[in-house]
Amino acid sequence: MTKPAGGTQTEAAYQQIKDEILTGRLEPGKRLRINEIAADLKISLGAVREALARLAAEEMAVATAQKGYTVPKVSVEDLADITETRVLVEGECLENSIKHADLDSETKLVAAYHRLANLPERDPENRRVANPAWLDAHSVFHEALVTNCMSPWLLRIRKMLFNQSERYRRLSVSLARTERDVNAEHKAIFDAVMAKDIPLARKLMAEHIRRTTEILLSSDKLSQP
């Protein structure tokens, strides 16, 4: 990674560490050593400390007295809690956004869906991991679904839950034993939102979120807390 320009080191460290946690390159429970990260990114120790503190505030890193920071562990209990909380919050954001939809938000959603639908979910060079371009498009699509939600607090909570869910969802990509048609799930949600069918959109979103949980619970990827 190229050394960032002055004033952007903390943001660069934050984005890099967060990306590696979300993609699973930094595995659950792994120590986040400030010296090593600073050396790898060629940035200051202070910038890394600030980035880790920000990640800890977002529950994307765990701060432990005298031990520094680690990647949050994964567990059945944590996944179940995140899943059901996200179903509630995502549903509220989605309903609020549909009620306040306008031409600009619908145009944004159409563009986000078109991009997502035309990218492969899995990396063409390694079918057992997610395609980085698809991951980005997936995040943009889900944000476009709620772009006109009028509650900033709901959106902040939704974003935190989405990122936590992504840690788990990306663990499910490599699980070949359970097949799912993610594109069909996204298409159904998109169609319901464009039709302004709030009950159906909420139902489909809840099923979409819970599907990942079902896949992971049927595997041995998670440990009990």
pLDDT, mean of residues 102-115: 97
- Specify the CATH architecture of the domain 9-70: Orthogonal Bundle (1.10)
pLDDT, mean of residues 102-125: 92
Q: Six-digit token pair at 198?
A: 């709030």
CB 61 within 8 Å of CB 69? yes
pLDDT, averaged across the chain:
86
Element (H, E) at 37: helix 34-41
- Which pLDDT belongs to residue 29? 87
146-195 pLDDT per residue, tens: 999 999 999 999 999 998 888 887 766 655 445 678 899 999 999 999 99
Burial class (CB in 10 A: 0-12, 13-18, 19+), 212: buried
Where exactly are the structural domains of the chain? 9-70, 76-217
- Which pLDDT belongs to residue 222? 62
For the chain, the maximum distance between any two Cα atoms, rounded to a whole number of angstroms, is 54
Answer with the residue of higher pLDDT: 129 or 20: 20
- Its sign, for the CA torsion 223, 66, 165, 24, is negative
Whether the predicted pLDDT of 1 surpasses 50 = no
pTM recorded for the entire structure = 0.78
Fold of the domain spanning 76-217? Four Helix Bundle (Hemerythrin (Met), subunit A) (1.20.120)
